[in-house]
Chains A and B, each alone.
Chain A
């Protein structure tokens, strides 16, 4: 990791400079404007489908609110397990160069949950439930740690592109733009950390792993892209927005060619990183 200690040092400096108080930095309206957009229409999971085209503008805005709650909810669930994993990595043997930045990473992920949870509980009265489950298994040396950071990177790269688009979208209510921007500001550093760390860990581990472990890791990560995207198509959202046959709609929304093209476009930078660093050898099907 010849350059990594310097990268970590610069990330720590930036985190200290950008340090924000989540309890005072957000301007929470008393109530949301029911005529507002809370997610960019083009990012809505059923955008372009006949079911979307049939909606009135008011119904589309209502859908955008629930899709925003879903987007923030899936972030909360991802960040909860991220915080658990980061805490386990703190001061672990071999992690002495990482721990200074891990403190900032942990701190910032907790702050994000304050923003996301604040929106969900204030305006929806809930966080959408998580359907992901983890099954305990045995890992090769270094495999669990590598997969943890690789999964975090995949998750955050997709989220960040949504954050960037929505933070600039003048159609969105100010609170939605502000949350997306605040998240993006920290995520930029998390992604720099992640991209540097994941390739270092893979090159270190893959040099000693048996071939079947490397293949298993590749298969798992390819599947993880798809599993991550599934959370963006939530039948609970469709139910709350008053859409019919929510499970049929979820399946149709996920599997149409336009949705696959959208996911491929959003994921292409991340996939290119995994291919260029030989972590994946072929493009995953998403």
Chain B
């Protein structure tokens, strides 16, 4: 079972690798990744696959709330914190 720090690090590393241009130190847990086009709308499918792999759970896109992909913070809150699970 991954710790919170490990999960946030995994999300951070995935976003940096997928973007290919951003400097790792420029991406914080609050950085608006969709708004700043760090991850494009076309790459969200890859992000969902990554989240499914990390959580071991299937994601129903139709149940996702607006703003869920805003930042690493919102990703962690909605996909990994049991109290606020999106599933």
A interface with B by C-beta (< 8 Å): 129-135, 220, 223-224, 226-227, 230-231, 235-236, 247, 250
Contacts and interface: CB of A to CB of B under 8 A. Distances in A.
Contact of B42 (A129, A226, A235): A226
Interface string B53-64: 100001111001
Contacts of B42: 220, 223-224, 226-227
Interface of B: 34, 40-46, 48-49, 52-53, 58-61, 64
A231 B46 CA distance: 10
Judged by DSSP, the binding face of B is helix
B41 A131 contact: no
B61 A230 contact: no
B13 to A, nearest CB: 15
A250 B61 contact: no
Given A220-B42, A224-B42, A131 B49 contact: yes
B41 A247 contact: no
B54 to A, nearest CB: 9
Judged by DSSP, the binding face of A is helix
B45 A227 contact: yes
Query: Sorted from nearest, which 7 A-B pairs have the closest CB atoms?
Result: A247-B53, A227-B42, A223-B42, A135-B41, A131-B45, A131-B48, A133-B44
A232 to B, nearest CB: 12
Contacts, number: 43
A231 B64 CA distance: 19
Nearest to A245: B53
Contact of B61 (A133, A135, A227, A236): A133
Given A135-B44, A224-B42, A236-B58, 20 more contacts: A129-B61, A130-B61, A131-B44, A131-B45, A131-B48, A131-B59, A132-B45, A132-B61, A133-B44, A134-B41, A135-B34, A135-B41, A220-B40, A223-B43, A226-B42, A227-B42, A227-B45, A230-B45, A230-B46, A235-B49
A235 B41 contact: no
A140 B40 CA distance: 18
Nearest to B46: A230
A250 B41 CA distance: 20
B61 A131 contact: yes
A235 B49 CA distance: 9
Nearest to B56: A247
Contacts of A227: 42-43, 45
A231 B49 CA distance: 11
B80 to A, nearest CB: 17
Contacts of B41: 133-135
Contact of B64 (A133, A230, A250): A133
Contacts of A223: 40, 42-43
Nearest to B64: A133
Nearest to B40: A223
Contacts of A236: 58
Contacts of A133: 41, 44-45, 48, 61, 64
Given A131-B61, A133-B61, A133-B64, A235 B44 contact: no
